[in-house]
Amino acid sequence: MGLLAGVAATVHAPYLTAFPERVDADALTITTDGFTRLGAMFSRTSIDGLLVVTCEHIVNLEPRLVPPFTIGVGERHPVFHEPHFRLPGGDRLGDPELGRALYDELTERGFDIAHSVEVALDHGTMVPLELMQIEDVPVVPVVINTLFAPLPSLRRCAQLGTALAAAIEAAPGRRRIGVLATGGLSHTVGAPGMDRIDAEFDARFLVALADGALDRLTEFDEATLDAAGNGTHEVRTWITAAAAASGLSYEVVTALPNVAGWDVGVHQVRWTA
Amino acid sequence: MSTDRLTQVLVDVTRGRSHSAFLEDPDAVLDASGLSTELIDAIKQNDYAELHRAGAHPMALLYLSRAMGCPLDSYLDQLARGGAAR
């Protein structure tokens, strides 16, 4: 039996590593401290593996083939090198045994999730791992399609989170597994509005998250998410984490609603036993 | 022409299967892409507003602008002046 050793969700905006000099000292300190606290949480619980529920940026997914959910079952996962974001290249240790076990359990629970021995990790995964200073822990990525419509519904993402938590508990061995969701709240990528967020949406989402209200988290329709910015669809990872964390205690780690210079909110939360 | 097809071509030439060939002979790659003459011309002329109006995925379009050396501010300004996606 495995153990769900903690769940967290965090921003992954690449400007955090690319342009730390653009923001004021207080914001940088608070952000750095937040990532340090999340890294310490997983270190303190001595996790054997980290399930990263992530979205990506046209590195694995493209219109030619777009599974709604993909789990990485590789021995190692190549890092998509993004030196312009001051991120390293190379690769990261995977855990194919855990990945396959989770795949099997998810299938049993009605999730025909795609699997891949070569899920490339872009800044959506690497910004948090670098800033949390998580280096040696095996990573099992779960990529959610937040790019190419039609996207998986928010309700289906919540169901995935519930199923992932159960799959972790059913995994062989005595692994202690952490879950890290990465993604932004409201933001826009590649279109006018990249310097804006939707504070009203973020506040409404965060209140529902704090309340553990999956019904309210999953009631946002596609038009609402589109209006808050095309990157807002990344909240699917947060909803997956919230569902996986059912029954755990919720805590806000970082809450910077809008950081000038990065032009995003820096939000981080965690759920612990 | 589906917007997905347009986006796929942009992905292919900037980071996908046609990337190397595009660097060597962009005309040949675009001519074989199956895109309309208007869209091929828009790519060749760095007309991001037209590609945006035609429904190219904004992230794929951003990557094209980067590959073509277009500064982010200029790219966003072109889109802002060029109207919304169709």
Which pLDDT score is estimated for B1? 54
Amino acid, single-letter form, for residue B67? A
In this prediction the pTM is: 0.97
Structure tokens at A17: 């590593």
CB of B34 closer than 8 Å to CB of B63: no
Residue A7's nearest CA partner among A47, A59, A36, A34 is: A47
Q: pLDDT tens-digit profile of B25-50?
A: 999 999 999 999 999 999 999 999 99
pLDDT bracket for residue B85 (50, 70, 90) = low
Looking at residues A97-113, what average pLDDT do you find? Answer: 95
d(CA A34, CA A51) in angstroms, rounded, equals: 19
* Contact call for B61 and A64, based on CB within 8 A: no
Which residue in A57, A115, A187, A267 is the catalytic one?
Answer: A187
Residues A230/A236/A241/A247 CA torsion (nearest 10 deg): 120
Which pLDDT score is estimated for A1? 87
Which pLDDT score is estimated for A272? 96
* Contact call for A58 and B59, based on CB within 8 A: yes
CA distance B76 to chain A (A): 6
Which pLDDT score is estimated for B83? 66
CB of A177 closer than 8 Å to CB of A98: yes
Which pLDDT score is estimated for A44? 86
Q: pLDDT tens-digit profile of A172-215?
A: 998 999 999 999 999 999 999 999 999 999 999 999 999 999 99
Q: Which residue of A58, A147, A194 is the best one to mutate when testing the B interface, meaning the one whose CB has the most B CBs within 10 A?
A: A58
d(CA A122, CA A128) in angstroms, rounded, equals: 11
In 10 A of CB A172, how many CB atoms? Answer: 10
- Burial per residue of B3-29, b for 16 or more beta-carbon CB atoms within 10 angstroms, e otherwise: ebbbbbbbbbbbbbebeeebeeeeeeb
Which pLDDT score is estimated for B84? 63
Residues A37/A55/A125/A40 CA torsion (nearest 10 deg): 20
Q: To the nearest whole percent, how much of chain A has pLDDT over 90?
A: 96
d(CA B56, CA B12) in angstroms, rounded, equals: 13
* Contact call for A191 and B58, based on CB within 8 A: yes
**Residue A81 a catalytic site member:** no
CA distance A136 to chain B (A): 29
Chain B residues whose CB is inside 8 A of the A57 CB are: 59
ipTM of the complex: 0.93
Cβ partners under 8 Å of residue A100, min gap 6: A73, A115
Q: Which helix (H) or strand (E) holds A252?
A: strand A249-259
d(CA B54, CA B57) in angstroms, rounded, equals: 9
Structure tokens at A155: 């309700």
Which pLDDT score is estimated for B82? 86
Which pLDDT score is estimated for A45? 85
In 10 A of CB A251, how many CB atoms? Answer: 14
Query: Does the pLDDT value for residue A9 go beyond 70?
Result: yes
Which pLDDT score is estimated for A84? 94
User: Which residues of A153-240 form beta strands (DSSP E)?
Assistant: 176-182
**Residue A77 a catalytic site member:** no
Q: pLDDT tens-digit profile of A128-164?
A: 999 999 988 999 999 999 999 999 999 999 999 999 9
Q: Which helix (H) or strand (E) holds A8?
A: strand A3-10
CB of A103 closer than 8 Å to CB of A113: yes
Q: To the nearest whole percent, how much of chain B has pLDDT over 70?
A: 94
Q: pLDDT tens-digit profile of A59-80?
A: 999 999 999 999 999 999 999 9
Q: pLDDT tens-digit profile of A13-30?
A: 999 999 999 999 999 999
